[in-house]
Structure formats: structure tokens, C-alpha cells
Amino acid sequence: MSNKVLVVGSGAIGGFYGALLAKAGADVTMTCRSDFETVKRRGFRIDSRELGSWRFFPRRLVQRSGEYGGEPDFLLLCTKVKPDLDRAELIRDAVGPNTAIVFIQNGIDIEAELQAAFPDNELISGLAFVCCNRIAPGEIQHLAYGRLLLGNMPSGVSDKTRRLADLYRTSGIEAETCEDIVGGRWQKCVWNAPFNPLSVLSGGLATQTILQNQESLVRRIMTEVQAIAEAAGHPLPADIIERNIAMTRSMPPYKTSMLLDFETGQSMETEAILGNTVRAAERLGLDVPCLQSLYALMRLREQQSATGLGGKHPSHN
């Protein structure tokens, strides 16, 4: 059984989950843009507390998906989801009729773009519960967790999805399939929606500090997400908030991915994580004032970063 994989996006997520598939015996090609020269010379280095450290040389390294040539069984899309990136365009040249498109990405309602562009392809939605960092070109540090949740869009679990989960289990991480992956995406949103924006808007606080100081706001945002998920037909487990609070307490103090993007001057996943969540609430007629406030504030923050204002204005008492 052929397991030809093309990974698009070679940051922390793409590098880590691509390396694991190679470890499990798959035929893995990586696309790599900015880090191409370094990775070509030295491969990826995965440094994992749980899985050990190893160097990963992909079967092939390409700069654009179009260079792949053949038809991958799985195309793993592992970029961030940002308005300035056309994800369909990024993978179009490598998608064949039998390619399953697997997107391991954060956010709510991020599949429509792919469904519209590739209506006849199998679409597998993936959620990574992992702490990992790209600390230098081709160098990925895996700090904790790693669990992958996989399911087909709009629902169900195909044989190919099971095969992919098996490969990941072989590689040494937890991988589960899920009949309602859209619900799974909402579950992840319960954590992402508060902690990602709060980490940026607080000026860079770690998740634990946020929780220690403003737990009631965190809970209220989580409750709003839970209400949207329920209204959208994906009721979440009753203890989802308690579990997320407990998990965050026991985590080492993390910087969120949004905060890292902010600090390095990159665009953030504001729309995928927060904007689409607020828009889902609006479509469903739900009032979510805390999420709306956070979203509006993030937009202002982005506005400020974009214009680099800071000129001298007079003050108003």
C-alpha cells in the first residue's frame, strides 16, 4: 500500500508531523521555501523530549508543490491560516484525483476554501494538540503533547484517515480518529479563542499568568465558544471548560502561537481563530460580547502594527 506524502509548510507543525510519517515508513516529500538551502544541506533536526532526537532527511525536498510531479496519496497542509495566504493556490499543482488533502491547521470554518477548490477530493481535517517550536531553520523542538485528531469533512472517518492515524501511532504519538471533526475543531477553539488573543493583548503574558489573574474572563470566553458550538450542532462535552482550565494550569507557562507571530512581526491567525468564530455566532444569532470585544481589539492591534503609528498626538484629559 503506497503512502506517498507531500507536506506543504515546513514550520514547526509541518516539520514535526512530516518527520513522524517518515519515521513510520511513509515516502515523505517536504516543501520548503525560506529554509530550503539549510534543510537541503542538513535535513531537519527534531529534538523531542518524549521521542528522542533525530535528523530527518525527506525523500525529496521541493520549493513549490508543483515540483512534486507525481500524485501524493496524502497532501499535508501545515501552514498557518492567514488572509494573505491562498491555501488552495499553494497546493493546487500537486493535488491529483486520488490525493487526500489533510489540513493540520488551527481555526474555525477554514475548510470552505479547500472544499470549493477541490470538491472531488477527500478532505481530512486534522487537529494537533502539541507544543513545538521552530527554533532555527530546519530545527524543531518538540516540548510536550503531540496528539493528533483526524476526521473527514464534513464528518465520518474514511479508510485513508484510519491509515493515516495508524501511521502516526506507529511513529510513537497518540492519534485518534473522530466522526465529528468539526466538533473537535470547536473543542480546540475553546482553548485557542481566549488564550491566543489574551496573550497578545496583555502584552505578552504566558498562559498560566493569564489564567491566574483573569480566570473569570477566560471562563466567560470559553462559555461563549461552547454556546456557539452547541448552536452550530456540535455540542461539546459538559466538562470541556474545566478540562481546559485544568490542562492550562498543569502546562508549563507557554507563549501562544499568536503571540510568537506577533513578536516576530508576522501576521496572526486572528481571522481563523477569532473572526470566523464571531461570524459563526452572528450567523447563528448569538450574542458573544467577550469574543466580539477581543476580536475588535485584535483588529485594532493589527491596524496599529500595520500602520506603525505612534506619531506624536496631543493628549486629551
> Angle CA(18)–CA(21)–CA(25) in degrees, nearest 5?
140
250 binds its own copies (CB under 8 A): no
293 binds its own copies (CB under 8 A): yes
> What is the closest distance, in whole angstroms, from the C-beta atom of residue 152 to its own copies in the complex?
21
User: Which of residues 96 and 246 has its CB atom nearest to its own copies in the complex?
Assistant: 246
How far is residue 200's CA from residue 183's CA, in Å, rounded to a whole number?
26
316 binds its own copies (CB under 8 A): yes
How far is residue 2's CA from residue 98's CA, in Å, rounded to a whole number?
12
Strand partners, 126: 104, 150
> Angle CA(219)–CA(297)–CA(248) in degrees, nearest 5?
30
Task: Report DSSP letters for 94-144, one per residue.
Answer: G--TTPEEEEE---SS-SHHHHHH-TTS-EEEEEEEEEEEEEETTEEEEEE
User: Which of residues 38 and 214 has its CB atom nearest to its own copies in the complex?
Assistant: 214
User: Which of residues 61 and 150 has its CB atom nearest to its own copies in the complex?
Assistant: 150
Decide: 168 and 24 in contact? Cβ < 8 Å. yes
219 binds its own copies (CB under 8 A): no
34 binds its own copies (CB under 8 A): no
30 binds its own copies (CB under 8 A): no
DSSP 8-state secondary structure symbol assigned to residue 236: P
203 binds its own copies (CB under 8 A): yes
267 binds its own copies (CB under 8 A): no
Given the rule CB under 8 A, which residues bind its own copies? Answer: 12-13, 106, 128-133, 141, 143-144, 195, 198, 201-207, 209-210, 213-214, 216-217, 220, 251-257, 259-260, 289-290, 292-294, 296-297, 299-301, 303-305, 307, 309-310, 313-317
